Amino acid sequence: MKKFTLLDYVLFNGIPKEDMEMLLACIGAKIKFYKEKDDLTELLQNGQYCFLLLSGKIRMTMPNGNVRLLKENSFFGSVVFSEIVPEAAKSATYQAETLVTILVMDHEGIANPCWFSCFFHHRLRENAERLYWQG
């Protein structure tokens, strides 16, 4: 199995290693694993979460039949998709194309800085916005 070093992902650029444990707790981060062909629709349409695809590929099928392939290092979530493709994202379906590892994070934890206004939290938010605009 591939070993993940979250600091290697763009979402965590500029965040000191010693701050990662506190940051991950602050954003309610959890790693989830899925098999090829698993239906991820219910999870990925949940507006409470944002996701970082750590490994694998996910097929997003729009209601009109258009397909978008989400690849490693993709940062996404139904909240993000709803701004890119308003109604389509809410009724899109998602399926693991390969073995998939996803970092699931609380959307509010990313969108709203914690009480302490930590440097790392602001950096995470900047990185998330940059990834969002890169598509």
The CATH number that applies at residue 11 is 2.60.120.10
Residues of the domain holding 81: 7-134
Question: Is 39 inside any structural domain?
Answer: yes
Question: Is 57 inside any structural domain?
Answer: yes
- Report pLDDT digits (tens) over 51-108: 888 899 999 898 889 998 888 877 766 444 444 444 445 678 889 999 999 999 888 7
Q: Which residue has the higher pLDDT, 47 or 7?
A: 7
pLDDT the model gives residue 95: 94
Least Cα distance to 58 among 88, 97, 87 occurs for 97
61 exposed, middle or buried (CB, 10 Å; 0-12, 13-18, 19+)? Answer: middle
Record the pTM.
0.80
Q: Is the pLDDT at 20 greater than 70, yes or no?
A: yes
pLDDT the model gives residue 32: 94
Q: Is the pLDDT at 30 greater than 90, yes or no?
A: yes
